[in-house]
């Protein structure tokens, strides 16, 4: 059964990576007019218990918070969504089956297996609980493409009901392609991201990528990328201090 959602209303634009776990840092960043913030539970210093105070620190109600989990844990995914995050990013998605499993953990029956609580923070502690589950807008799901298998299966992953975006993890994807034993699997990085973008667009989904603040994204825009995570809190902090002459 499909849950029909107007995809245009779910588009993400410019975001940034947050991994330090400091609510003060998150509060300051949230004042910078980003469309979305990525809280990173895969790498960095943010822990599960840091998510809620960092969510509360986000100033703008229009800023969407996405959490990247480190692995598939249905209970954790449901709890993060109950706390009020706008979506989930899953790293190293290699198949449509993996993508569908995450979607199932994010959505309520009959569209998934997530447990329902009307008093969760995501529903205003009971004030905004949906009367009809078919009118509820499900959270965003961003599937990261970070290996050869993910690139090869990008079309079926993008076509999976509930996937909103294919997001290239450039460092992991470069690494994976470079260490492949078979020469046929060591495809050029640019070819890999081109295949990923085309797969996303062909299914009417977004393509996203992580870039540095200094990077020229014009070629990426021409290629079809429409969502960008620009920099990370730790890197921006470090580069800012490096510019100070002591």
Active site residues: 43
Beta-strand pair 165-168/206-211: parallel
The neighbouring-strand residues paired with 37 are 16, 65
**Residue written as token pair 């634009």:** 13
Torsions phi, psi of 128, nearest 5? Answer: -120, 25
Find, among 41, 85, 21, 43, the residue nearest to 237 by Cα: 21
Give, to the nearest 10 degrees, the angle between helix 233-242 and helix 23-30.
Answer: 80
DSSP helix/strand/coil, 156: helix
Sign of dihedral through CA atoms 7, 9, 15, 20?
negative
What is the spatial distance between Cα 135 and Cα 144, in angstroms, rounded to a whole number?
A: 28
């Amino acid at each position: 059964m499909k849950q029909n959602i107007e995809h245009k209303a779910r588009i993400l634009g410019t975001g940034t990576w947050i991994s330090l776990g400091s609510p003060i840092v998150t509060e300051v960043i949230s004042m910078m007019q980003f469309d979305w913030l990525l809280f990173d539970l895969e790498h960095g210093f943010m822990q599960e218990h840091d998510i809620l105070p960092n969510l509360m620190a986000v100033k703008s109600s229009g800023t969407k918070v996405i959490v990247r989990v480190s692995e598939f844990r249905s209970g954790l995914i449901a709890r993060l969504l109950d706390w009020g995050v706008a979506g989930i990013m899953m790293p190293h998605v290699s198949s449509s089956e993996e993508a569908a499993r995450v979607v199932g953990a994010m959505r309520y029956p009959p569209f998934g297996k997530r447990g329902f609580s009307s008093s969760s923070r995501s529903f205003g502690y009971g004030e905004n609980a949906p009367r009809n589950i078919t009118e509820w807008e499900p959270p965003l799901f961003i599937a990261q493409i970070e290996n050869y298998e993910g690139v090869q299966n990008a079309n079926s992953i993008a076509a999976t009901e509930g996937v909103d975006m294919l997001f290239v993890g450039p460092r992991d994807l470069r690494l994976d392609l470079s260490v492949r034993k078979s020469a046929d699997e060591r495809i050029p990085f640019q070819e890999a991201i081109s295949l990923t973008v085309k797969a996303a667009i062909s299914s009417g989904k977004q393509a996203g990528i992580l870039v540095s603040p200094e990077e020229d994204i014009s070629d990426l825009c021409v290629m079809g990328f429409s969502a960008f995570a620009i920099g990370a809190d730790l890197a921006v902090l470090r580069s800012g201090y490096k510019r100070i002459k002591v």
